[in-house]
Chain A
C-alpha cells in the first residue's frame, strides 16, 4: 500500500542513507472476519469489486449472504475503497447503503543499520485509512 510522502522526506533528511536501510514493516492487522475486505492497489479493481458483490449476494441461492461488509483501505487505496463501495451501491438499485469511518493507522518503519556500531531504529509514521460499512437495507 502506498505511503504518505511527507514523513519520508523528513526521515531522509535527518538520517544518512549510507548508514541505514529503510525497511517497511507490515501494518498491524486485526484478525479478519469473513466479511472484512482489505483493498489493495495490486489486485485488479474488477476482481475486488466482484469479490465484494459475491459476499453480499451469497451463493447461487443467496443462502449465506452477508448483510454487511467492511471495506478497508489504507493510504493510496482509500480512493479505491471508496470507489468500490460506491460502485456496489450504484449497482444495487438502492438496496445497499454505505457508512464510512476514517482513522489513522500507525505504520512502523524499521531502519536497519549498515554499520555494526549502530542500533536498529524504528520510526512511527501515520497514514490515513478508511473503513466503509456497506449494508443492506430493506427497500420500502
Chain B
C-alpha cells in the first residue's frame, strides 16, 4: 500500500502495535532476507564493536536491515515489553530480562553484555535502513487481489469495485489504475453500431452469415444454439447435448416416444450415369464378404436403402474408408439398363474427403477441370483467380467489412446450404470415358432423424400430403409450376394418391421396426407450417387407424411398392425452385393475422408450397437376439431451406430433440459402431483417436500429480489411446511363435521337461492353456508335443521368435484390419457362446455347416487375417460399469475356479506395479535444482549448456509410461486381449455394457483354452482401477 508515514511516527507506532497488526506485519517481514538469526540491535552493534573494533561502521549498516526482523521477533516473544514507550528503555529491559536467564541468546549462544555506550550516528543509520526496508515492504502488494479486496471488512463498502470514490482516498489512485486495466481486458463491443442497430434484421443476417463462414451452420442452428451446448466439429457447428438435464428422458424418448435429431451435416455424394458403369466403378470399393454391395437387387431397384463398408479400390480387407448408406433412384422403366441412374451415397463428414477422392479415382473423374467438357465454363479458372485476388485486396484494406456491405447491400440473403463453399470451387466432376457425373450434394438437403415408436404418429400428423391442383385453378400463375405440370399427368396423380395411401397406413403401425428395414417412401407434402397446432402437444396414435386389415399386412410383408419410392427431391431443378419459392415466415404470419376468423385454418390453395420429401426407414437393432428393433425410426430428407419449417412442427407433435451425445447413446444401445470413433482402421478413426488422446492427456496434466491416477503404478500402459497396432503385432508374434514351434520338428521330450522345471511363472498359464487345448481336441498323441512346444516359445527363445514373427509381418501386411467378413463373424459368434448351455444351438450350427472350434480352424483363419481386430459387445456379469479405454483381458484358471465357488466374487485384482519413472523424475528435478543453483553462482555463460538436457527431460510426465511400451499384452497379470471403445451403464439392459475390439488371434487363443462352460468370459479393467470384473463376450452379426 502506498502509505508513507513520517519516520518518527512510524518508530513510535511500533510499540503501540496491536497484536493483530503485529502479526500482519510479521507476515510481511517474513519475506525479508533472514540469514541473521537472532540478534538484537545491540548484538549487531556489539558485532560492530567486536569485528570492526568500532572503527568501521560501514559493515554494521549493511547488517542492519536484518536486525529489524530480529527485533520484531523479540517483541513477539516478549509481548509484555511492548508497553514500554521508549526504545532505549525497551532494549535495556530486554537485557535485564536476559540476565534473569529467561531468554537465550542468539544461535551462537554467547553471553551478552550490557553495552557501555551507544554511538548515536551508527544507531540512527541502522534504524534508518530498517525503516526504509519496512517502507519498501509495505508499498509492495504481496497478493494479487484487487485493492478494495485487501481492505479490512469494516472498511468495505457496497459497490466499491464500480465506484472508486467509495474507497479511502489514499487507495483511490491505485484502484483507478486497476479499474482501467480491467476495462482493457474486457471484450470490446462493436462501437460503430448500437444495440438496436445490431438487432436490425439485415445486420443480424449479415452478422450470422459472417459467423458461419468458417464452420457451417445447419438450418436449425439458432434453435439449437438457444438450447444446446454447441461444439465446432468437422467443419460444422453442432449441438452436442441439451442444456437441460435429459439423459434419461432422451433414452425414454428413443424407447417409448420419439427422439428427433438433425443429421443435415451428413454429406451426400451423387453419382449419375449408366447403371453398369457406376456399378463397375464402385464395386471395386466394396466386397461381398462384408455384406451386400451396391448391386444388391432390392437396393438397386430403389426399393430399399443399403449400407456397406467402403474400402480403397481392390484393397479389401485393408485400407478401409468408412461405412456409408446409399439409395438408388428408382427407375421409371425397369429393365432398361441404358437409362441414366442416380445413386446417392450418404456418409459422415469426417469420411467425405477420402471417400470422395477414392470414388473420383474409381470412376476416372480425377480432375475437376475435366468438367468443362460438359459444363461450358472455360472462364471458370480466371474468374476464380480474379475473385481470389479481389479477396486478397480486400484483406489488405482495413475496412474490408464495410466495403463488402456496400457491394452486397441489395443482396443480403440468408445463407442456405453450405456457407463455406466458394461458389467457384467445383463440386461436380465428370468422366469423359464412362460418362459418370459425381456431384457433392453436401448441405443441399436436410436430413432429420426420428427415432422411436411415436415417429409414425408424428410424421402422419405433421405432414399432410399435398393437394392436387385441379385444372380450373391453374389459370392464375403460381410459383409452383412443376406441381401444376405434374398434376396434368394422370399417371403422376395416381402415383401421388398411391403414395398418400401408403403414408396414411403408416399411422396405424405402432413401431417402425415392423416395416422392412430400409424401406423408402417418396412423398410430396404441403407446407407443414400451415397446420401447426397452437400449442405443443404429444401426438397419440389413433386406435381407429390401427385396424388389422389386408393393406397393412401387405405393407408389413412386402414393404412399399417400388413405384411409390419416387420423389421429386431427386430432381435438382425442382428442389431449387421449391427452396426459392418458400413463403417466408413473416409473410405466412401476416396472412394468418389477416384471416377473418382468428385462429382458423389458413387456406392458400394453389399458392401453398409443395415440398418433395423422401422418407427412409432406419432399422434399429437388427443383430443379436435381444431388444430387436430397438431404436428404429425414420429419416426425412428435405430440400434445403425448409429445415425450420419442418423442425418446429415435429417438435410441436411431441418429439424430443437430441444432440451428438444422444446419437452416441443410440449407437451404443444398438451395439453398432459409432462413426468415426469405432473405426480404428479408417483414417478418420485414427484421427479421432489421436484427438481424443490429446484431449485426455491435456485434461490429465491439468491436475497435480497427487490428485490424478498414477497409470504406471496401475499397470496401464496406454490410458488415453488404444495401441491397436502393437496389440495385434504382439498377439501375432505370440501366435506365430506357437505355430512355428508346432510345425518345426519337435525337440526331445526330455528337453521340454527340463524347461518345464525352470519355467518362469509367466509361462505357467500357457502351459495350462495348452493342456486345455489337448483335452478339448481329444487327440491322444498331440497334446504332449504341443505342451513342450508351447513352453519352448514362452520361455527364453521369445526374443528370437519375435524376430521371426516380425519378418513374417513385414511380408504379409503392415497394418492391422478389422474383421468384417460376415461368414467368419458368424462362425466366431457361434464359438463365443457357451455351447453346453443348449444343445439345440450346436445342432443348428452343425446343420449350417459350421466348423467345430479346433486348432486347425484357428490356423486357417489366422492365415488369412494375421493381424485383425473383432468388434465385440460385452455385458458385465455382476458389478461394474465400464468406461471407454477399459482393458479387456483373458481370465486365468484360478479366476474361473473362484467364480464358480463364490457367488459374490467380483473379480481378481491387479497387483500394484512399481513406478520406475518416479525416481527418475525426482532425480531430474534434483539435477535441475542443482544446476539452477550452480547457474546462479556461476556466470550466465554456462546457462546455455545446462538448458539443453533440461528441455529433453521435460517429456516425462509423472504417472504416465514414457518411452516405447514393453510387451503390451503381457504387461499385467492377465493377458490383454483388447480395448473398450464405448462403455457405460446401459439403461436398456440394466447393467454395465461395453463395446470394443479384441485381437482375433487372442480371441481364438482364449476360446480354445477356455472350458466349454465358461467360454466367452473375459475380464474388464478400467484404466484407473486395479479391479478386474467379469464380462461375457458376444459377437453379433
Chain B residue nearest to A124 (CB atoms) is: B557
| Residue from the list B297, B516, B543 in contact with A110, Cβ < 8 A | B516
List of A residues within 8 angstroms of B295 by Cβ: 116
A104 to chain B, nearest CB (A): 12
Given A118-B297, A120-B298; A108-B556 close (CB under 8 Å): yes
List of A residues within 8 angstroms of B629 by Cβ: 25-26
Per-residue CB contact flags for chain A residues 95-115 toward chain B (1 = under 8 Å, else 0) read 000000000001010100111
Q: How many A-B residue pairs have CB under 8 A?
A: 70
Given A113-B292, A116-B292; A29-B511 close (CB under 8 Å): yes
Q: Is A23 an interface residue (CB 8 A)?
A: yes
Q: Is B799 an interface residue (CB 8 A)?
A: no
| Residue from the list B514, B516, B822 in contact with A114, Cβ < 8 A | B822
Q: Is A24 an interface residue (CB 8 A)?
A: yes
A139 to chain B, nearest CB (A): 33
Interface centre among A17, A26, A29, A114 (most CB of B within 10 A): A26
Is A116's CB under 8 angstroms from B288's CB? yes
Given A110-B517, A119-B297; A28-B622 close (CB under 8 Å): no
List of B residues within 8 angstroms of A122 by Cβ: 516, 557-558
| Residue from the list A28, A118, A124 in contact with B514, Cβ < 8 A | A28
A101 to chain B, nearest CB (A): 15
Interface size bracket, B side: 35 or more
Chain A residue nearest to B291 (CB atoms) is: A114
Chain B residue nearest to A23 (CB atoms) is: B622
Q: Is B124 an interface residue (CB 8 A)?
A: no
B692 to chain A, nearest CB (A): 34
Q: Is B548 an interface residue (CB 8 A)?
A: yes
Is B296's CB under 8 angstroms from A116's CB? yes
A65 to B684: give the CA distance in the assembly, Å: 56
Interface centre among A32, A116, A117 (most CB of B within 10 A): A116
Per-residue CB contact flags for chain B residues 292-317 toward chain A (1 = under 8 Å, else 0) read 11011110000010000000000000
List of B residues within 8 angstroms of A108 by Cβ: 514, 556-557
List of B residues within 8 angstroms of A28 by Cβ: 509-510, 514, 548, 552, 556
| Residue from the list B304, B541, B553 in contact with A31, Cβ < 8 A | B541
List of B residues within 8 angstroms of A21 by Cβ: 1037
| Residue from the list A17, A23, A26, A113 in contact with B849, Cβ < 8 A | A17
Per-residue CB contact flags for chain B residues 818-837 toward chain A (1 = under 8 Å, else 0) read 00001000000000000000
Interface on chain A toward B: helix, strand, loop, or mixed SS? loop
Q: Is B285 an interface residue (CB 8 A)?
A: no
Given A28-B556, A116-B288, A118-B297; A17-B514 close (CB under 8 Å): no
Contact residues of A between 1 and 54, Cβ < 8 Å to B? 12, 17-18, 21, 23-26, 28-32, 42
B806 to chain A, nearest CB (A): 37
Chain A residue nearest to B826 (CB atoms) is: A21
A28 to B542: give the CA distance in the assembly, Å: 15
Per-residue CB contact flags for chain B residues 832-847 toward chain A (1 = under 8 Å, else 0) read 0000000000001001
Is B556's CB under 8 angstroms from A31's CB? no
Contact residues of B between 511 and 544, Cβ < 8 Å to A? 511, 513-514, 516-517, 541-543
Contact residues of B between 312 and 335, Cβ < 8 Å to A? none
Q: Is B987 an interface residue (CB 8 A)?
A: no
A118 to B557: give the CA distance in the assembly, Å: 17
Which A positions have Cβ atoms within 8 angstroms of B? Answer: 12, 17-18, 21, 23-26, 28-32, 42, 106, 108, 110, 113-120, 122, 124
Q: Can you give 9 A-B contacts (C-beta < 8 A)?
A: A18-B849, A25-B514, A25-B628, A26-B513, A30-B548, A106-B553, A108-B557, A119-B298, A122-B516
A-B residue pairs, 8 tightest by C-beta: A17-B848, A31-B541, A116-B295, A26-B629, A116-B296, A26-B513, A29-B510, A122-B557
Which B positions have Cβ atoms within 8 angstroms of A? Answer: 288, 292-293, 295-298, 304, 509-511, 513-514, 516-517, 541-543, 546, 548, 552-553, 556-558, 622, 626, 628-629, 822, 844, 847-849, 1037
User: Known contacts A30-B548, A31-B543, A120-B304; can you find 14 more A-B pairs with CB under 8 A?
Assistant: A17-B849, A25-B513, A25-B628, A26-B628, A30-B510, A30-B543, A31-B542, A110-B517, A116-B293, A117-B297, A118-B297, A119-B298, A120-B298, A120-B516
